[in-house]
Structures are given as C-alpha cells and as structure tokens.
Amino acid sequence: MLKPAKTGSSSCAAPGHRQLLVLCGERNWCLRQLARVLDAPVDLYFGAAPAGLAVRRNLPQAAARQLLGGETATLVFDAHGEFDADAFGAACGLLMGGGVFVLLTPDFAQWPGAPDRQKKNLAVYPHAPEQVSGRYLRRLISVIESDPFCQLARQGAADQLCLRIGSGKHPSLPAGSMTADQQRAVAAIARVALHPRELPLVLVADRGRGKSAALGLGAAALLAHRNLRIIVTAPSRAAVEALFRHAGEQAGRIHFVAPDELLREKRLCDLLLVDEAAAIPASLLHDLLRQYPRVVFSTTEHGYEGSGRGFAVRFRRTLDERTPGWRECRLTTPVRWLENDPLERFCFRALMLDAEPAGLSAEVSFSVDSLRTEWLDRDELWRDETTLRELFGLLVLAHYETRPVDLRYLLDALNLSVAVMRARGKVVATALVAREGGLDSGMAKQVVQGYRRPQGHLLAQTLGIVCADDKVPELRGDRIVRIAVLPEQQGRGIGSALLRAIEARAGADGCDYTGASFGVDPRILGFWRNGGYRPARLGVKRNRASGAHSLVVARGISAAGKQATQTANRLFREQMIYALPDLFAELEPALAQALCDGDAQSDSIPDDTEQR
C-alpha cells in the first residue's frame, strides 16, 4: 500500500483504492527514487529491472497481456526506451485493490522525442522510427499532469515524494460472497438452464466486475441441486481459471471444450457457458448459438486490454435476428478493487478505452448534401479531446475489436490522414486513410519477387504481387484503413459521400488508385462493390477476432491505376474458380458469387449505400 500521500496539489485516494505514482526524469534518478520508497520487493516489474532492485518477477512489457486475470499488489512499468500501450492497459488490469502502480518515464520535455521501440511499428518505408511524431505521448503527459489523484515526482522539482510502498492487501469479497450484480447474474444463468423457453443470456461488464466468477458461481449453484451437463468454452483454458476457481467443489463436474472442438462434434449439453466471447471468432459464436440453444455469453465491453464494444453491438444484431427475446445482464460493481477507482479512471482516460461516439439520434434532421469532409490536423487533434473522443468512439463502435495501441496509430502513424464529417457540430462519420506506394524501382522489383515487404505499403505490395508487375508498386494510392458512420445515421449515403471525398482528394494529389482491406461479409462487400471497388486478393485464413477472411479491394483512378486494379481483379476471379472447392469451400454461396462477379467498375456510388 501507499502511505502517506505526498504533500502538494494531488488529492489523496481513499484507503483501499489503487494508486498511481509517476517518477519522471533520467532512468537512474527514477530508480533511485523508487528504491528509496520501497519497504518490500516489487511484485512485478515490466521492463529491464536493474540489478540490486528487489523484484519478485521481471518480464518484458509484451508479456502483460498474457497475465490478464492475475493479480499483484505492487507493479512497476518502466517506459524508458518503450511505451507499449497495450501492455500498459493490461498491466493496469493486474493491480489489485489497495495496490500501487509505479510508472517510470523520461523527462516530460524529452519523452515524446525519446527513442521508443514501439515507433518502429508506426514508421513507414522509407522513413525511420525517429521521424515518428510524439503526439500520443504529449497527450498522455497532459492526462498525467491533469489527473487529481496521480502522484507525480519530477527530477529537479522542489516537492519530492514523502511516502513508503509496502505490501498492500486486496479488499476482496469474503470467499463465497457475491455483489448484488453477481447475484442477479447467477439467477439469470439459472433461468437459462431451467426455463422452458430456450433464450440466450449475455453478461456484459467492464474488466474486474466478476463476470467469470459469476459464471462459476452460477454453474456451482445449479450442480449442487441438479444433475446437469455443463460445458465451458473460451479462447483458452487459462482464460477460465477464475470460473473454475469460483465453482469450488463442483468444478470437477464442469467440462472445458475449445470452441472449434464443440462445433466439430456436437456434445450433449444442458448449458453452455461462453466466456470472453469477444475474443472468439464471430463465425464460431454464430455456429455455437445455432447448435446450443441454452447458452450464456460473457464479454468484456471496456477492458484494460482493449474494447469489445464493437463486438457487443454487432452480436446483438445477430441475437435479435436469430433469438428474439434474448436477455442481457450488466455487472457494474467492481470486485477486484473499490468503486470510483482512481487508477481505472486514469487508465480509461489515458488510453481512451471508454470513448463513446457522439449522440445524434436518427430523428435529428440534416441534409447529407450539406455535410463537408474535414481533413484534420493531428497536431491539433491530440489537443481537441471532444473531437478525438467522438471519432475514436465511433471507430471503437464500428470495429470488432479495438486495442489501446490503435489510438497511438491514429495520432502518430507517419502516412495516415484523418477525415471526419460533422452534423450539428458532432462527428457522424470518420475515416483513416494511409498513403501508400511510390516505391523506387529497385524496391518495387524486390517486392514483386518476394524478397522485401516494406512496412506500410499493404495495397501496393498486394497489387504488385497479384499482377506480377514491378511497375505497380511504383504507383501511388490511398488505402482506407477504417471508415465508419454512426449506426443511427447509416443508410443515408453518408459513408458513400465520405468515400467519394477520399477518392477526390486522392485524385487531386496525383494518386493512381484507392483501396481497402477488411474482414469480408456480404453487407460490407456490397458497400465496396457499389462504390466500384473490386477484389484483388482473399486471405486463406480467417481473422482471429472477426472470424472473416481478409479481402483486399481496389479501384483505379489514373489510366495506370485502372489497368492494375482491373488486371488484379481478372486474375483474382480466374484463381477463385480453382480455389473455391478447396481453400474456400466453407464460403457462403452468395458471398462466393459476389466475389467472383466480374461486372465492370462503376463510376459513381449510390446514395443509399452504408458502411459500418
């Protein structure tokens, strides 16, 4: 625990709350300050722990996501040399109530431009990682400095820390007890198993609210009085350790079966519990819903490792279509830390995990023709919290799974542009567009020959390889990384209008083509086909999150671009004739037909098209 709080402007957190301590300065200075305030060894240190510092466990930042579900009382996250946003979020989720999270950072004036191993993921050939901007870290610094509960100590500052860090105790619930939310969830689980009607249940909560525990407690309560066959499935056996732990002496009667195995051979099952559903491919969830009518899905909406809100919205549509009358149970009370936890509030704000799109109901009147496309200056965007939250919240809602690192990509990726459309001052549509191609002849030849894969040129590489033409990677194009419209405003042609604006800008800049890569389904494919985009390549493996095959589509602008995209589509259709019976035998017939349709590219986009 942390005791006492430092003197200064920071507010003191209530006893039992998790607390954040930031030590800012040269690394050796930060480590000396840390050593001075420690009364016990650090439980978990992410980064290269120095010799001489008492540390029970030392791991690289990338290992943090693998530990979700675990708990620790004291944690150090060393950001000198690297700040992995995904790892930082996951690490926050590991800290138990009453614990202390220590963040070590370079001097704030130097941090945005300091070496960072994560920058190599944001650099685009031929640019070096050192050219990546520091917008993301500048925003993070502003969040740290404005947080009333963050205890900040800077090298050279007059107000130094006066505290001791020891072993804190987790203010958890007594064994076997439940929050009111969990009690409701357990009762709802029982209704799914015992009610005459077979209607699914969805448990939804942020991380740390005891969903997995409720599943285990609910299963145990049923098995204590009835001889039921209960099966649990999840992305991995490790993901349901909490479920089995809370099932107690009944755990041995609950059987774990992987999702794909459940579908290969249907099991006799009175109740199926699906934990961490947002991490299971959508196609598998749909099949499980069809084969196992008595089912409970549990999913994390706002988690420290990312947001599954896009999943929740999309899966609700499936449930509405297939099982009208399904029920939802929300858990809001934390069980691993206290309510109004300062670290949780800081983490959600810093990583924008709880960003929400603008509220603009379908009844709000505005003309689509009046909308104008704005290309945002990202040097201003990181300071404009309202716009940033609205557009990022919209992207979260539209995409199946969003990770903390996506915000850093939005603000810092070298070849990225951000477009929005607003109505009544609120963001109703947005797009992320990456400028690609323009490779020199030597690199272009190596790409087509399969020797090089320069980072940040997915579309240029794909078209060049499919066409087997080393002139194609020399062409320039815009790849639409994400495009999203508010759900309540879809169907009005807003997405189509934004797509036209992107194409107009690309043409004015001398680009040869535009394109995109996405998890294909009939509805999304229809949007792109109506816009004149045609397939160039279909991934053989399904995407882990969406469960869909990744499709690359393109549309030519210049004469050379049209020739390349038309050639790629012709070759794609020829190859699909032979690949369909083997590699893509499970594709829906209507989707397969749409992919192989060879009608000419259109020059206009219907106004009634929509895109998620």
CATH code of the domain in which 310 resides:
3.40.50.300
Q: What is the average pLDDT across 458-470?
A: 97
Q: Does one domain contain both 127 and 36? A: yes
Quick one: pLDDT at residue 601? 43
Q: Are 583 and 498 in contact (CB under 8 A)?
A: no
Q: Is residue 447 domain-shared with residue 553, that is, in the same domain?
A: yes
For residues 5 and 151, the answer to whether their CB atoms sit within 8 Å is: yes
Examine the pLDDT at 326 and tell me if it is beyond 90: yes
CA distance 8 to 335: 31
Whether residues 240 and 273 share a domain: the answer is yes
The per-residue pLDDT for range 238-262, each reduced to its tens digit, is 788 889 999 999 999 999 999 889 9
Token output for 592: 């397969």
* 344 inside domain: no
Give the residue-averaged pLDDT of 486-494: 91
55: in domain: yes
- Give domain status of residue 340, yes or no: no
What is the tens place of the pLDDT at every residue in 517-540?
998 888 889 999 999 999 999 999
Q: Do 395 and 288 share a structural domain?
A: no
Structural domain ending residue among the three candidates 165, 192, 214? 165
For the residues of 287-344, what is the DSSP string, one character each? HHHHH-SSEEEEEESEETTEE-HHHHHHHHHHHHHHSTT-EEEEE-S-SSS-TT-HHH
Q: How confident is the model at residue 160, as a pLDDT?
A: 62
Q: Is the pLDDT of residue 1 over 80?
A: no
Answer yes or no: is 172 within a domain: no
d(CA 213, CA 71): 15
Do 144 and 233 lie in one domain? The reply is no
Angle at 393 between CA 388 and CA 397, to 5 degrees: 155
Q: Does 71 share its domain with 185? A: no
Q: How many domains does the chain have?
A: 3
- What is the separation of C-alpha 304 from the centre of its chain, rounded to a whole number of angstroms? 10
Cα–Cα distances (Å) from 566 to 285, 438, 532, 536, in that order, read 36, 19, 11, 9
Q: Quick check: helix, strand or coil at residue 391?
A: helix
Strands 19-24 and 151-154: parallel
- For position 115, which CATH number holds? 3.40.50.11040
Q: Which CATH number belongs to the domain containing residue 581 in this structure? A: 3.40.630.30
Q: Give yes or no: residues 154 and 292 share one domain.
A: no
Domain contains 362 = no
**Is 8 a member of any domain?**
yes
| Mean of pLDDT values over 17-39 | 94
| Pair 453, 323 in one domain | no
Alpha-carbon span 191 to 185, nearest angstrom: 10
Query: Domain limits at 440?
Result: 352-357+372-596
* Whether 110 and 225 share a structural domain: no
Average per-residue pLDDT in the chain? 89
Give yes or no for a contact between 556 and 564, defined as CB atoms under 8 angstroms apart. yes
Domain end point (choices 165, 195, 228)? 165
The pLDDT of 544-550, averaged and rounded, is 73
Same domain, 158 and 225: no
Residue where a domain terminates, one of 165, 198, 233:
165
Q: Is 386 part of any domain?
A: yes
What percentage of the chain has pLDDT greater than the value 70?
90
What pTM does this model have?
Answer: 0.88
Strand ranges of the sheet holding 549-556, from the earlier edge strand across to the other edge = 373-375, 416-423, 426-437, 476-485, 513-519, 549-556, 534-542
If asked whether residues 129 and 9 sit together in one domain, one would say: yes
**Are 403 and 302 in the same domain?**
no
Domain presence at residue 242: yes
Gap between the Cα atoms of 572 and 31, Å rounded: 57
DSSP annotation of 414: T
Torsion of CA 86, 88, 93, 94, to 10 degrees: 120
- Is residue 65 predicted with pLDDT exceeding 60? yes
Which residues in 143-245 belong to E strands, given as ranges? 151-154, 164-165, 201-205, 230-233
Q: Is 267 in contact with 254 (CB distance < 8 Å)?
A: no
